[in-house]
């Protein structure tokens, strides 16, 4: 069974987990311990030869809205396949959402998934381990603030940890001391925000309408910092 998240950090590329007992406590613990978040070092999924290889590597597939209007919506469809060589049971799927979005988003994922969103970092975790060859998924939709212009950029994928058997309940300081590192596999998604001209001509093409994403009502997440 997947270990529940007790503490998530999203500084730079990293989220540092601290396991707690009980999956039901995960979201509450993450919110109440937000002020205790600290920085940890991370290595990328494409580790150099001098670095230890992760227990599991991931292949990331990402589809997203390429063009949208000001104040419009962007939908992301994220898939992460575990390439092995082992199963993964200490990982999170999600990543960094664009700047300039309203502090509420809607998401869909496998049954039993829970999510948390703080600052620009939106992470989700499931109940079960991901076997080699299996794929996890996450869909979510953000809404741009009307004043947001230019390019909306997100970085999405996986953050995973190699936690040895028996170390699931060790606190984050001890994990860092014994050298347990995080590995990230993130892809960049860019969306052009289109501002209609004051006097549209026949050659102007508006962006396609982005359909409303309607997962269950319980799959609506609010940004705890409201600082996007």
pTM over 0.85: no
pLDDT above 90 for 143? yes
Task: Give the pLDDT of residue 173.
Answer: 56
The DSSP line for 12-75 is TTB----B-S-GGGHHHHHHHTGGG-----EEESS--TTSPPPSEEEEEEEEE--EEETT-EEE
Beta-bridge partner residues of 125: 114
Which has more pLDDT, 167 or 55? 55
pLDDT above 60 for 22? no
Task: Give the pLDDT of residue 205.
Answer: 78
**Residue 206 — pLDDT band, cuts 50, 70, 90?**
confident
Cβ-contact 206, 196 below 8 angstroms: yes
| Distance from C-alpha of 227 to C-alpha of 100, rounded to nearest angstrom | 9
Highest mean pLDDT among 125-129, 210-214, 215-219: 125-129
Task: Give the pLDDT of residue 193.
Answer: 95
| Distance from C-alpha of 33 to C-alpha of 41, rounded to nearest angstrom | 20
Return the residue matching tokens 């002020």. Answer: 35
pLDDT in tens, 88-124: 988 999 999 999 999 999 999 999 999 999 999 999 9
| Distance from C-alpha of 47 to C-alpha of 45, rounded to nearest angstrom | 5
**Residue 130 — pLDDT band, cuts 50, 70, 90?**
very high
Task: Give the pLDDT of residue 195.
Answer: 86
Region 140-166: mean pLDDT is: 91
């Amino acid at each position: 069974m997947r270990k529940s998240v007790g503490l998530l950090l999203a500084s730079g590329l990293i989220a540092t987990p601290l396991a707690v007992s009980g999956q039901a406590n995960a979201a509450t613990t993450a919110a109440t311990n937000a002020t205790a978040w600290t920085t940890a070092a991370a290595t990328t999924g494409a580790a150099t030869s001098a670095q230890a290889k992760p227990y599991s590597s991931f292949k990331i597939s990402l589809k997203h809205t390429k063009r949208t209007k000001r104040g419009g919506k962007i939908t992301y469809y994220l898939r992460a396949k575990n390439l092995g060589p082992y199963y993964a049971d200490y990982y999170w799927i999600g990543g960094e959402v664009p700047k300039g979005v309203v502090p509420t988003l809607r998401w869909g994922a496998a049954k039993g998934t829970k999510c948390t969103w703080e600052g620009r970092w939106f992470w989700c975790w499931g109940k079960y381990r991901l076997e080699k060859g299996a794929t996890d998924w996450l869909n979510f939709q953000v809404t741009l603030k009307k004043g947001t212009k230019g390019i909306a950029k997100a970085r999405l994928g996986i953050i995973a940890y190699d936690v040895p058997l028996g170390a699931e309940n060790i606190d984050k300081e001890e994990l860092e001391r014994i050298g347990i590192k995080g590995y990230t596999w993130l892809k960049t998604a860019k969306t052009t925000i289109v501002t209609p001209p004051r006097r549209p001509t026949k050659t102007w093409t508006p962006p396609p309408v982005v359909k409303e994403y309607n997962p269950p009502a319980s799959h609506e997440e609010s940004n705890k910092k409201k600082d996007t």
